[in-house]
Structure 1
């Protein structure tokens, strides 16, 4: 009888702690997100990857001799001629994407401080239901992505001399507006520094932040409201960690 009572008590205590952990986790999944001074919305965590296990959620498109792997609890990209690492989950807006990156410069053969790039809200007009139908054909070569519809951000490109935002229209055109062609040193990269990246696609508002520095604030008259995210780089050595996606309230 005492043993049965003890087991029941143990189960109740265990269930209580499980409930507390679940409730605490739920509470941590929601936060306020400031889009602009007069617009604050709720962000609910819908995806998280800390790269503690594997790259099962990611699709690597990479030119020869590069590698993408898990190392010390981070995604580590070592690239020679071009690489896109897609998250294989499609998201519908409005969303916010956050992650931490570090551009490594410690004397390695690919330790070049350049090209902290990414795609988001990407779709393929040729294959509207399957972005990865031509994955092998693209193969990480940058020009092979010109026919996709997406937003592109290239920070510290061209040997850390340009930072550019583009809206790919899906037919090979990649317009570059003057206000999105940045060349001041404050928009470039520092080596071996942890950067926090935040991307917002909130209806027609498209934003890109680096360490709370707003680099892009674009009002899109015909916004892309769903698609895929991809890390993009070339001839570079970098790590990625603490990747999160939030659904934003409308």
Structure 2
């Protein structure tokens, strides 16, 4: 059987291309929604009874406790509480952790307020950490905020606090699919990248906001009011 010169050339060229492709090693990148993870900045698995890298703001009431137990951060409060990471974050970062709202027989158990502050600053005070956990005391800060299942599990909202007392409402979900389920562990990811913030709950995008005047540095805090939360596997990554 005779093979034309043209066909032979195509066969040889195809073999070379396949061989080249086989010899190239494809390096897998660790990405989250297109953003590449660069390095781990902070990690707390709460495997030690140590809250030295956290600052707790809450009333010291009889039925209020913020502690580490059984490798989890426990926020069990009958009032407002914010637990701040003591180091300021800046730039493009990914924040992730696991969190459950416990509803059993505890005196503070209430299906509500899986909340978070981030990129928080006090425009009137270099020291952010001057409050007792009362929610209204944070209204004059600059920050981003989300509340999953707020107001006894009837709202899920994203806001930007402008530092003037005004709290700009970005998103208000009223569909029950965005509300909390009791005793369910949620994996929460917050991506801050080049002026856009995205929040994912169990891989589903709950919020996305591209800010024309983005907050590019500030403090992160777990936030809630009258409820019991279990938190672990906290990590912060630099993104590029």
Q: Same fold (TM over 0.5)?
A: yes
Supply the distance in 2 between the matched residues of 1:148 and 1:198 (Cα, whole angstroms): 23
Q: Secondary structure at the match of 1:106?
A: coil
- CA RMSD across the alignment: 1.4
Which residues in structure 2 correspond to 1:22-61 (within 5 Å)? Answer: 32-35=30-33, 39-53=34-48, 54-61=50-57
- Taking the aligned partners of 1:77 and 1:42, their CA distance within structure 2 comes to 29
Paired with 1:246 and 1:34, the residues of 2 have a C-alpha distance of 11
Which is higher, the Rg of structure 1 or of structure 2? Answer: 2
1:167 and 2:163 aligned? no
2:218 corresponding residue in structure 1? 227
Equivalents in 1 of 2:194, 2:128: separation in Å? 22
**Corresponding residue pairs, total:** 210
Q: Residues 1-250 of structure 1 correspond to what in structure 2 (within 5 A)? A: 32-35=30-33, 39-53=34-48, 54-65=50-61, 66-128=64-126, 130-132=127-129, 135=130, 138-177=131-170, 180-249=171-240
Distance 1:200 1:209, change over 3 A: same
TM-score normalised to the size of structure 2? 0.84
Between the aligned partners of 1:89 and 1:31, the Cα distance in structure 2 is 28
Runs (4+) of structure 1 moved beyond 2 Å?
Answer: 30-35, 39-43
Within 2, Cα distance between the matches of 1:196 and 1:208? 11
CA positional deviation for 1:51? 0.8
- Residues 64 and 80, structure 1, Cα contact 8 Å, conserved in 2: no
Unmatched segments (≥5 aa) in structure 1: 1-29
Per the alignment, residue 20 of structure 1 pairs with none
SS of the equivalent of 2:168 reads coil
Secondary structure of the 1:176 match is strand
Normalising by structure 1, report the TM-score. Answer: 0.81
